[in-house]
Amino acid sequence: MRENTKPLRVGVIGCGNISDTYFTNGPLLQDIDYIACADLRPEAARSKAAAYGIKAMEVDALLARDDLDVILNLTIPAVHAETSLRILDAGKHVYTEKPLALSLAEVDAMEAAAAARGLRIGTAPDTFLGPAQQQARALVDAGTIGEVVTGLATVLSHGMEDWHPSPDFFYRKGGGPVLDMGPYYIASLVNMLGPVTRVQASGRIGRRTRLVTADGPLKGQSIPVETFTTLNALLSFESGAEITFLASWDVANTDLRPIELHGTKGTLRICDPNDFGGIIAQGDLVGGFTEIDTSTRAFGANNRLWLGEFPFSCYRGLGLAEMARAISEGRAHRCDTEFGRHVLEVMLAIETAAIEGRSLYINSRPKRPAAFTPEEAITFRAAQSVEVLP
């Protein structure tokens, strides 16, 4: 821990699938300390509390504690805003999983509540703070590939029902590939290119029902689909870049790269923005690519196995730790509501444009978060080594 500072004491509401990631990463980060957890299912809270050495509580009791500084909101998207408002009303800072809310009106209410109480709101994703996305931004900012003209971002799979134990909420209103996975991609693009000014899109539902094959309470059940499972969008940026964004849970397989940017001097291939580290590649005008491996940098090493098999880098909670330090230093935090609201406005516009068949202009113009340099990132690592796969 940095000299003369104390970690912010964190409570957690929502003890579902994603909570294990945050709890596991807690010891790897300075500036935060998980104290207690709560869930509408008391058995879920008790299970996490026993696994991670914290206290299980009812939601109301957790909100009433006077020894918690910030609450991490890990509820399902449909109640993100409602829960965040309860946290703010309890006089505590809030950091919420993505998306920030399901409407801009909800965000406005949250911002008003926070401002009235002098509190902070932070929001996932924080993956754009990882070394791969920050290195890509540095190359764009340096003009290495010239002015970005066009590009392609793709999040394509066959869906969530073969791995998530309770995938039904992904297919309800407020779910779908854009609102669920889009935050990583839109945040990455806005971090690199600045704000989006206009959206065009089309979409459809691939299958009206989904058979759950993952182990869990819904295994063997067919769940209804209430939202688009495929959306194709064209994002126009204030910088002049025109980026095609493909998001689908109707794709059996693909070789497309997560993000590829094409500039007047070259091309940049960028790894999965759902990871923190990875390999990016810079291409020149004669066709060659030079790879840059960011896995040796702070928060870049593979430390998890996806589905028990595929290595990836996951340091969720870094944005919460950065917010905690920003609070202690009296400065703006990077994963803030201005940035998160813009990402949400773009995602909602994609869905609305697909429904209405027209272009939509984006009203917000957030400042890009300050660059998160390797030198600053390393100061967030806890005293022990960052967890790495054996």
| Domain ranges (residues) in the chain | 8-123, 127-312+336-361
Compute CA 327 distance to the chain's CA centroid, rounded to the nearest angstrom.
Answer: 21
Residue 298: name the closest of 213, 386, 168 by CA: 386
DSSP 3-state of 68? coil
Q: Cβ(233)–Cβ(186) under 8 Å?
A: no
DSSP 3-state of 94? strand
E-state strands within the chain? 8-13, 32-38, 55-57, 70-73, 93-96, 121-123, 148-156, 196-204, 209-211, 222-224, 230-237, 242-248, 259-263, 267-270, 279-283, 289-293, 304-306, 310-312, 360-361
Residue 155: name the closest of 188, 131, 122, 194 by CA: 188
Q: What angle do CA 330, 377, 80 make, to 5 degrees?
A: 65
Beta strand pairing status for 209-211 and 267-270?
unpaired
* 250 Cβ contact list (under 8 Å, min separation 6): 158, 159, 206, 207, 229, 230
DSSP 3-state of 77? helix
CATH topology of domain 8-123: Rossmann fold (3.40.50)
User: Quick one: CATH architecture of 127-312+336-361?
Assistant: 2-Layer Sandwich (3.30)
Q: Cβ(67)–Cβ(54) under 8 Å?
A: no
pLDDT for the residue numbered 382: 87
* 288 Cβ contact list (under 8 Å, min separation 6): none
Sign of CA dihedral 239, 244, 248, 253: negative
Q: Which two tokens stand for residue 220?
A: 């063997």
Question: Position 304: which residue type?
Answer: R
pLDDT for the residue numbered 1: 44
Burial of 139 per CB tally in 10 Å (0-12, 13-18, 19+): buried
Question: Position 154: which residue type?
Answer: T
pLDDT in tens, the chain (390 residues): 455 578 999 999 999 989 999 999 999 999 999 999 999 999 999 999 999 999 999 999 999 999 999 999 999 999 999 999 999 999 999 999 999 999 999 999 999 999 999 999 999 999 999 999 999 999 999 999 999 999 999 999 999 999 898 899 899 988 899 999 999 999 999 999 999 999 999 999 999 999 999 999 999 999 999 999 999 999 999 999 999 999 999 999 999 999 999 999 999 999 999 999 999 999 988 878 999 999 999 999 999 888 778 899 999 999 999 999 999 999 999 999 999 999 999 999 999 999 999 999 999 999 999 999 999 999 999 865 455 665
